[in-house]
Amino acid sequence: MAGRDPIGDDGGVPHDPTAPESARDYVRRVGRSLGVLTVLVASLLGMMMSASSCKTVAPTYDGQVIAATTRLATDADTLLKRATQPYDRHQVSVEAMRVRLEKMKDVATARGRGNMGVVAQWGLISQPRAEGGHLLGALLDEWATNATLAEPLLGHRRQIVREAFRAVLSAEQDRPPGLQDRLMLDEVLGSDAEAAEADLFPGTKGDPLPEGKTVIR
């Protein structure tokens, strides 16, 4: 048995490396090679498809989002101007502002993983004081706690909040042209445009809030 090829499939016939390869052995060898190649190609295609599915694509330009962001920034600054007045007089407006901030963050999140930078910016703008926030959310908390906020520090912090909103607007305005993300917005706000506007901006046109009150202007 010493002369047999231990891994051959020739029925125990001694293997002669100088002997010409038979047609049957050639077909087997090529078949095995093609099988290995097929597995490798399939694995590569699977990796490519997986990488493609994980690719984050930034949303395209959307005028509705820009208009909503601009309006929210303007209304936030107008509200903060009144923070020198007693909080109780503007509590309903503050609560409505918090709702609007969360709605805009939901809209940004619904636009996909490629929009995570803007989502993070909305998170910073709305972050509560207790969680280390320093922008709009924190200012509203301080107003509620202290009853009033004093100048000139208030004016300085209003400027910082405006710059935070400008950063969001800059990101939105620099997006590439394309179809507007209406489906994403509809999922968050509803399909009816007027209802969506009222939902996103409760009380901004004197519409009654759930408590039956209106925003104080």
Domain ranges in the chain are 1-55, 63-200
Q: Report the predicted TM-score, pTM, of the whole model to 2 decimal places.
A: 0.60
Cβ–Cβ < 8 Å for 207, 217: no
pLDDT value for 177: 79
Outline where the chain has alpha helix (H).
Answer: 23-54, 63-81, 91-110, 116-126, 136-146, 153-173, 182-189, 193-200
pLDDT tens-digit readout, 127-140: 999 999 999 999 99
In this structure, the number of other CB atoms found within 10 A of the CB of residue 129 comes to 16
Strongest mean pLDDT among 6-15, 51-60, 116-125: 116-125
Highest mean predicted confidence (pLDDT) among 13-22, 38-47, 131-140, 186-195: 131-140
Element (H, E) at 63: helix 63-81
